[in-house]
Copies of this chain bind each other. A is one copy, B any other.
Amino acid sequence: MNHIEAKGVYVIAPTPFMPDGKIDESSIDRMTDFFLKAGVDGITVLGQLGEAPKMTHEESVGIVKRVLAGAKVPIVVGVSAPGFAAMRALTQDVMALGATGVMIAPPNTLRTDDSIVQYYKQASEAIGADVPFVIQDYPLTFSVQMTPAVIRRIHTDNPSCWFLKHEDWPGLDKISQLKAWEKDGSLRRLPILIGNNALFLDFEVERGADGANTGYCFPDMLVDVVRLSKAGKRDEAHDLFDAHLPLIRYEQQPGPGMAVRKYVMMRRGIIAHDTLRKPGASLSPTARAEVDYLMARVARVDPRARV
């Protein structure tokens, strides 16, 4: 199959809900439009922070359809599931609708190199060897550790392997290793987009990452930082990044992080409500005030935070 590129910012889209938990379709439209205007290069829907496991199959398909209607960029759909049957079913439906590829996270029971490699082989067979897939390497959440060599084996075994969503922690040397292999020809082109709420975006791009695949509440900032860094404007990139770092860190908290993200996106007018489905928690008034304070501080440097 033909190589597909990936670079810049593939934003992880949250799933907007109405206060009663129903899917908020008009917010999906507004959010998609916002992403495009922000200059993203792609959109990933139904990732972990898209609250994917909280949706039924029908809802998942509906969300993808809605985003696809407004998007002019590649769409990646998270299809991770406890079994291959559900993974295949969702993949088939969203690829038929026009998605570009899917993202697959490893189940948290995998413990050996071979078992990880085998899992991706079987997953690729299950969804179809022609469906581009993204490796999600997020040990903090999935408890599965992939060495660079394991990632290379997966990418080599599967021509349909598209790019790496890199969110190992620490992960800088992993990027350096993979990019060195890409350079010396021992690894075919493997785009690396980083996640982990962009906590290390500044240095990750300098290490060779091709961009970001994460959902920080200011994806427009991510676009700028990647652009500045790729343009060699190192200090400018760090200045902008550092202004956001206190909020990035705050949003990266497991659990409340997703509520922070939705709260800021609501304040920015991107989505209408900051509702999470259960078992998602809402922010305490104190936490909201802390986020407001952080936004006010960001606004001193980045006017987009003035809301």
Contact = CB atoms under 8 A, between A and B. Distances in A.
Interface stretch (A184-192, A222-230, A253-261): A253-261
Contacts of A59: 85
A219 to B, nearest CB: 20
A84 B54 contact: yes
Contact of A122 (B89, B256, B278): B278
B85 A169 contact: no
14 contacts: A53-B85, A54-B84, A56-B85, A81-B82, A84-B277, A111-B145, A113-B114, A114-B149, A115-B145, A170-B253, A170-B255, A170-B257, A173-B284, A242-B245
A242 B238 contact: no
Interface residues on chain A, size class: 35 or more
Nearest to A57: B57
A112 B145 contact: yes
A56 B56 CA distance: 12
**Which of A82, A206, A254 has its CB near the most chain B CB atoms (within 10 A)?**
A82
A30 interface: no
A147 interface: yes
A173 B287 contact: yes
Contacts of A277: 83-85
Interface in A69-90: 81-86, 88-89
A25 to B, nearest CB: 17
A170 B251 CA distance: 10
Contacts of A55: 83, 85
Interface centre among A119, A147, A170, A246 (most CB of B within 10 A): A170
Contacts of A126: 278
Q: How many copies does the complex hold?
A: 4
A303 interface: no
Contact of A56 (B82, B86, B246): B86
A193 interface: no
A-B interface, 7 closest residue pairs, ranked by CB to CB distance from nearest: A53-B83, A53-B82, A170-B253, A111-B145, A54-B83, A113-B113, A56-B85
Interface in A233-282: 238, 242, 245-246, 249-250, 253-257, 277-279
Contacts of A202: 246
Contacts of A278: 84, 122, 126
A11 B55 CA distance: 31
Contacts of A299: none
B108 A108 contact: yes
Nearest to A173: B284
A100 interface: no
